[in-house]
Amino acid sequence: MKEPIVRLINVDKVFGTNTVIKDMNLDIYKGEFLTLLGPSGCGKTTTLRMIAGFETTSAGTITVEDENIHDKEPYERDVNTVFQSYALFPHMTVFDNVAYGLTIKKVPKLEKKEKVMEMLLLVQLVGYEKRKPDELSGGQKQRVAIARALINNPKVLLLDEPLGALDLKLRKQMQVELKRLQKKLGITFIYVTHDQEEALTMSDRIAVINEGIIEQLSNPQDLYEHPETKFVAGFIGESNIFDGKVYEINGEELKIETNSGLCAAYGKNYIVGENVNIAVRPEHINYSKTPTEEVSLKGRIRDFTYVGNFVKTAVVMEDGKEIKISRFEMDNQLQEDDQLFINWNPTKAVVIRANEK
């Protein structure tokens, strides 16, 4: 059985009359890479700041290795934080920035040098120790910040959107490096981001937060393929979401009536007449110029968008709803304003009860 290193138990956070975290319960395990993912203002950074000690809880308990840390100052907690702004000392060299925590602790000079060089080797910055922060690239600055946070060997590393200021190519490179670093060290990483791709790339588990509530806590594949709420289906990747009502049930196969027409999906424990949402990824939608299935929806092509390694086709359904279809290559037989019949393998559709927001 996995052992939690950080636990949030019935945690609330209130600012004035605004409750930003609502009865949050979360176990974070030793050695895992857990991401708090959600849109701006959802409460993910507030959650991280409460673990770090920069904010206090309004109710509930946070523990690290079963110790209640409510009354501990940030510097007394065995956690370190890496910020998007790097927060490096501009007048200090790379060596002195990384060594700062050891200097405060008055670690002997030789031991300090050994530990700093070990960290610089870990983050691939050997040879940069005499440089100042203004002589470094954004990625190098972030590596210095990570080395400084790791040198005291914290039990947990907190990362608050640390890659947000980097350009896309460097951000993707740093995602891979961070994940490799975390696996090598075996330290628990708690990572905050609003970037779904970033979360899916790096995480062992992802907690999707919306309006202060964890909507779903799953591994990346499960989160993408089996969203449990309409919000998660729309927020993780891209989904075509149809509002509908169960029209017919045959075992686990459902016929669902939507404003766009009748469609099919699989689901358990539904009843005829029940309001549901159906989520289908753009890559799972099939199309033809003539109806080929008993159940298909009708629409017209609005336009095509070339997005690097795939093409998105926008289709407007008869009720005015727009959906997206993704393919790796352009279908040269299709043109704007062509009529299409849309369907999908029912096993690829996710059915969500309409009250699961």
Q: How far apart are CA 68 and CA 50, in angstroms?
A: 12
Taking the domains of the chain in order of start, what are their residue ranges? 4-233, 240-353
Percent of the chain with pLDDT over 90: 78
Which 3 state secondary structure label does DSSP give 24? Answer: strand
Of 84, 114, 87, nearest to 102 (Cα)?
A: 114
Helices and strands (DSSP H and E) totals, the chain: 8, 20
Q: What are phi and psi of 222, to 5 degrees?
A: -65, -40
Residue 357 has pLDDT above 60, yes or no: no
Residue 254 has pLDDT above 80, yes or no: yes
Per-residue pLDDT tens for 297-338? 999 999 999 988 899 999 999 999 999 999 988 888 889 999
Residue 113 is predicted with a pLDDT of: 94
C-beta separation of 262 from 255 below 8 A: yes
Residue 233 has a CB neighbour count (10 Å cut-off) of 26
* C-alpha of 259 from chain center: 32
Residue 110 has pLDDT above 80, yes or no: yes
Q: How far apart are CA 180 and CA 191, in angstroms?
A: 14
Q: How far apart are CA 189 and CA 156, in angstroms?
A: 6
CATH 3.30.1120.10 fits 240-353, yes or no: no
Q: How far apart are CA 57 and CA 46, in angstroms?
A: 10
Residue 253 is predicted with a pLDDT of: 92
Residue 163 is predicted with a pLDDT of: 85
Residue 224 has pLDDT above 70, yes or no: yes
User: DSSP of 289-300, one letter per residue?
Assistant: SS--SSS-EEEE
Residue 174 is predicted with a pLDDT of: 86
Average pLDDT (68-89) is: 89
Residue 37 has pLDDT above 90, yes or no: yes
Residue 1 is predicted with a pLDDT of: 67
For the domain made up of 4-233, give the CATH fold. Rossmann fold (3.40.50)
Average pLDDT (139-159) is: 91
Residue 304 is predicted with a pLDDT of: 94
Confidence grade of residue 139 (pLDDT, cut at 50, 70, 90): confident
Residue type, 263: C
Confidence grade of residue 156 (pLDDT, cut at 50, 70, 90): very high
Residue 186 has pLDDT above 70, yes or no: yes
Residue 356 has pLDDT above 80, yes or no: no
Confidence grade of residue 72 (pLDDT, cut at 50, 70, 90): very high
